[in-house]
Structure 1
Amino acid sequence: MKYFTTTNASILQSSILHLGNTNANFTLMQYSGEICVYYIDRDPKIAAFVDSNKERAKELSLQYGGAVYASLDDALKNETFDAVTVATPSGLHGEAVIKAASYGKHSIVEKPIDVSIDAAKNMIRECRKNNVYLSCILQHRFDSSTRIVRQMMNDGLLGQLIFIHASLNINRPREYYKNSEWRGTFELDGGGVLMNQAIHYVDLLYHLGGEVEDVFSIQANLSHDYLAVEDVVSATLRFRNGAIGTLNATTSAPTKIGSRMEIVCENGYCVIEDHQLVRLSLYDTEKNPIKTSLSNHNVEEPSSHHLQFQDFFTSILNRREPLVTGEEGMVSLHLVHHIYSSAHTNQMVSLKENCI
């Protein structure tokens, strides 16, 4: 089947990248619901598109510039560039990243980092060995709401974390899976709603709550009987700091209801809806309310994808680690695997060992 050999990536020219313009306007483009190519309006710019469907790549090239290749091997042998963005089916991420690393190229890869723990470990090891950077797209870490709440937690303004909840209620119709045959397969998608959509919220639970001690979960397929993967999942997490977390996610909602996070702390309460901070309540040590305003917190700024790509290219220019490293991308994958393990065994699963 054709999707087994698809290699969708955009490649950045080093001659442009090293001009050092880190304020470039990064734009996310999704093509036919399957290929995901990130391009930049100004420096740095795209050097090439790589896709097994050469006609699709030609359309992109005509619109945004850049050469066209049917394989990453050909691009690596014939183009001069510094970095690739990898948006192949999730189970093929490792293959592209490891190949790029062997040529000394940096990589930023769509979530999840891969569907396999072993593949993710190999990606990280090969990038380290070849002295190149690896980043995984977990753009909601860059949301202003996430950054504000995390900073308040780190500054001690909210006090001890008590409870954190994340929910995602969306709809994925049959057409979504028909248009990309690899979606909803264990081999290339790694699972259903948990691995593909809710992994962002698994990451935010870790990012805000800290390391997880153990998990218990249940899952089901209630409205996608043509798939072997789950379309609803519920998980309870116990963090190593003693706090409790929960995750509920489904692709079986009647429409896109959206996402919601609640963070309950000793001295404060925050609500994030669809990545906007909609409630912030603070209390003093006597539990008296402290006057707060959201007007200073929900500010217009570039998209979170923009901010993550800006960080990635800045890290290359300044020779420093990106804020979301391959290791950070692997944490969410590790958690997802343990949530699946709990659902499959109907038992609480302990995360005793560090995933790296």
Structure 2
Amino acid sequence: MAERYACRYYADYREMLCDTEIDVVHVCTPHVAHKEVILAALAAGKHVFTEKPVALNPGEVKDIKTALKHATSQLGVCYQNRLNPSSQKIKSLLEANTYGKVLSIKAVLTWNRTQDYYAQSPWRGRFATEGGSLLINQAIHTLDLMQWFAGGVESVKGVVESSFLSNATQAEDTAMANMQLANGARGIFYATNCHTTDSPLFLEIHCEEGLLQLHHNNLWFIAGEEKNLLACDEIPREVQKCYWGSSHQQAINNFYHSIQTPDNHNYVDIYQAETSLRMVEAIYQSSITRNWIKI
């Protein structure tokens, strides 16, 4: 890789952190290493842009927040789907109360992860190294969007199961949950890695005056027989995995711009990123206790 891009490489990330020419560290490691690398980078005075989740669990998040209080650098988390045109449009419409009170938000995510996917990277699908499986890896983006649209989440009741992938993962391959969202709406959530293809996210927001419906990267408003296209997430042809979205570069650009202009806090920080991680933990807990779990 270093030869291909004509760049320096390091066998140990701690050696890299001693390089004074490096200003920003991108954390793209297995989940289990996120906390360790983030803490070391902050201590070295580096800005950090990390892939989700920011850590394995809320306990690790607490340690990172403590370190940030004494750091001179910034930490951003990659929840790029907030920046998709459809997501931005939904957020602005809901904030403006364009279609009245939000009654419910439903999200359905059906993707395909094979046994080979887990065999090729043994850290996946294990609580000790990934923090779980489907919820904390693939579906956490969907949970983040749901709570972001609603202004937060109050409580969750859910269940997780391992079925088709029970021989490949020690954690769940399917999950479902009901939520009490902060805006008073209900949240209805279903996700699985057991589909045979990676279908685009289906998200529906029921407002007093109609439905906001995101499907196949198109955002529609539906009221009775009326159906209007409001936004379209155009995916460049070179982006092969279109179901991931196409806003990674925008998220990185926003973080870099915020570093250069400290008054412009235009990125997902650890406090925002913590909510979706707490939702994941709450669904796991609820699946054991069969109770509602407060966030």
TM over 0.5: same fold?
yes
1:332 aligns with 2:276: yes
1:92 aligns with 2:23: no
2-side partners of 1:321 and 1:126: how far apart? 19
1-side partners of 2:180 and 2:193: how far apart? 25
Q: Is the 8 A contact 2:27 2:48 kept in 1?
A: yes
Structure 1 unmatched runs, 5+:
1-59, 283-287, 352-356
Q: Which amino acid aligns with 2:173?
A: D
Instruction: Give, in angstroms, the shift of residue 301 of structure 1.
Output: 8.0
2-side partners of 1:195 and 1:79: how far apart? 34
Question: What is the 5 A alignment of 1:234-253?
Answer: 234-253=176-195
Aligned to 1:146: 87
Q: Deviations over 1:58-85 (max 9, x none)?
A: xx21222321101111111234211100
Structure 2 counterpart SS, 1:188: coil
Instruction: Give, in angstroms, the shift of residue 277 of structure 1.
Output: 2.7
Structure 1 counterpart SS, 2:34: helix
Identical-pair percentage: 29
Query: Which one has the largest radius of gyration?
Result: 1
Q: Deviations over 1:148-173 (max 9, x none)?
A: 01101111102111010111101111
Structure 2 counterpart SS, 1:164: strand
Q: Is the 8 A contact 1:133 1:322 kept in 2?
A: no
Q: Is the 8 A contact 2:220 2:227 kept in 1?
A: no
Structure 2 unmatched runs, 5+:
237-245
1:344 aligns with 2:278: no
Aligned to 1:315: 258
Higher normalized contact order (CA 8 Å, seq sep 6+, divided by chain length): 2
1-side partners of 2:19 and 2:231: how far apart? 47
Aligned to 2:70: 129
Q: Is the 8 A contact 1:135 1:322 kept in 2?
A: no
Aligned to 2:173: 231
Instruction: Give, in angstroms, the shift of residue 300 of structure 1.
Output: 4.7
Which 10-residue stretch deviates more, 341-350 or 145-154? 341-350
Aligned to 2:215: 273
1-side partners of 2:45 and 2:158: how far apart? 41
Q: Which amino acid aligns with 2:137?
A: N
Aligned counterpart in structure 2 of residue 117 of structure 1, from 58, 67, 75: 58
Structure 2 counterpart SS, 1:263: strand
2-side partners of 1:293 and 1:269: how far apart? 11
Q: Is the 8 A contact 2:34 2:55 kept in 1?
A: yes
Q: Deviations over 1:86-107 (max 9, x none)?
A: 0111121010011000111110
Aligned to 2:148: 207
Q: Is the 8 A contact 1:124 1:134 kept in 2?
A: no
Q: Is the 8 A contact 1:100 1:106 kept in 2?
A: yes
Q: Is the 8 A contact 1:133 1:321 kept in 2?
A: no
Structure 1 counterpart SS, 2:32: helix
1-side partners of 2:214 and 2:20: how far apart? 44
Q: Is the 8 A contact 2:220 2:231 kept in 1?
A: no
Instruction: Give, in angstroms, the shift of residue 213 of structure 1.
Output: 1.8
Instruction: Give, in angstroms, the shift of residue 280 of structure 1.
Output: 1.3
Q: Is the 8 A contact 1:270 1:277 kept in 2?
A: no
